Amino acid sequence: MTESRDPVISDAASAPDDRAWWALLERRHDAAIPVTGSPLWELYGALCQAHRHALAKGSFAVAHLAQSLDGRIATLSGISQWVSGDEDLLHTHRMRALADAVLVGVNTVLLDDPQLTVRRCAGANPVRAVIDPERRLDGSQRIFRDGAAPTLLFAASDRARSGDALGHAEVVPVPRGPFGLDPQEIRRVLARRGLTWLFIEGGGITVSRFLATRALDRLQLTVAPLIIGSGRPSLALPEIEDLASGLRPSTRRFVLGNDVMVECDFDG
């Protein structure tokens, strides 16, 4: 058996007062941030550097999904806790801590009622955002009531007016396009508010729409050794005729406990 050369993040994923993580957080806007030296710097240092470079074009967007071996992110009824292990959960909290804004689709808020805050590592809570074009959310969910971070609700412009609110959240109207609300426009709206690093945390429909509109710089797919056999799909894109039309981005791989995360780079 050959030994894996993929960086292993699991042993860095433990203590909440992890000094290396603090050091990285402090240097996340530093042009000379290290991108080698340990798996932590290799994974997150490179993302910080990519964010800096992306500022020239406006913003940086990274999506993440944890999926089973058979490409599912949840059961059909919507249970997704938990597909991946503790190391990947810590990773998502670290991604939140690095990002300016974290975004999910309306189904995720309805089914999970997530807080979208940073709790498993050090770091500030990002601005929270949800795409709810038809205004299906009623304001009873935690992100609208807990006041833990500023919260935005993107709704179709025929369903909302600037200045509307839902609980603590500001409602932001966005015009409809071929893939629903235009992900590129959502990125522009966030960038105009100074939110230049966007972390899209699911679910599959939301990430797929960002991917379909070329609105992702990176896509992180954590594959867990689990077969669900049915359930909500990870990515779903329009049909292609042949494999030459498939996407073949350059990738990096990281071992996260029992899971493997493949990070796709769409800028390269």
Ligand X SMILES: NC(=O)c1ccc[n+]([C@@H]2O[C@H](COP(=O)([O-])OP(=O)(O)OC[C@H]3O[C@@H](n4cnc5c(N)ncnc54)[C@H](OP(=O)(O)O)[C@@H]3O)[C@@H](O)[C@H]2O)c1
Of these, 179, 185, 265, 266, which contacts ligand X (CB under 6 A)?
179
Q: Minimum Å distance from CB 226 to ligand X?
A: 10
Position 44, amino acid:
Y
Only one of the segments 39-47, 115-123, 176-184, 242-250 lies at the binding site for ligand X (rule: CB under 6 A); that segment is 176-184
Only one of the segments 10-18, 52-60, 165-173, 175-183 lies at the binding site for ligand X (rule: CB under 6 A); that segment is 175-183
Q: Which residue of this chain has its Cβ atom nearest to ligand X in the complex? A: 203
Closer CB to ligand X, 34 or 114, in the complex:
114
- Cα angle value 19/12/67 (rounded, 5°): 135
Q: Is residue 65 involved in binding ligand X (CB under 6 A)?
A: yes
- CA neighbours closer than 13 Å in the CB half-sphere of residue 234: 20
* Residue 53 structure tokens: 């470079």
Of these, 61, 99, 104, 191, which contacts ligand X (CB under 6 A)?
104
Only one of the segments 46-54, 77-85, 121-129, 250-258 lies at the binding site for ligand X (rule: CB under 6 A); that segment is 77-85
Closer CB to ligand X, 18 or 185, in the complex:
185
Q: Is residue 160 involved in binding ligand X (CB under 6 A)?
A: no
Only one of the segments 34-42, 101-109, 119-127, 159-167 lies at the binding site for ligand X (rule: CB under 6 A); that segment is 101-109
- What is Dmax (Cα atoms) for the chain? 61
The site string for ligand X over 219-238 (x = CB under 6 A, - otherwise) reads -------------x------
DSSP secondary-structure letter at 41? I
Q: Is residue 256 involved in binding ligand X (CB under 6 A)?
A: no
Determine contact, residues 104/203, Cβ cutoff 8 Å: yes
In terms of C-beta distances under 8 Å and separation of at least 24 residues, what long-range contacts does 38-44 make, across chains too? Answer: 38/12, 39/7, 39/8, 39/9, 39/12, 39/254, 40/9, 40/12, 42/7, 43/7, 43/9, 43/252, 43/254, 44/94, 44/98
What whole-number distance in Å separates Cα of residue 152 and Cα of residue 40? 30
Of these, 80, 117, 151, 196, which contacts ligand X (CB under 6 A)?
80
Determine contact, residues 125/146, Cβ cutoff 8 Å: no
Compute CA distances 154 → 148, 159, 160, 170, whole Å: 19, 10, 9, 9
**Interacting residues toward ligand X by CB under 6 A:** 65-66, 73-74, 78, 80, 83, 104-108, 111-112, 131, 133-134, 136, 179-181, 183, 201-206, 209, 232
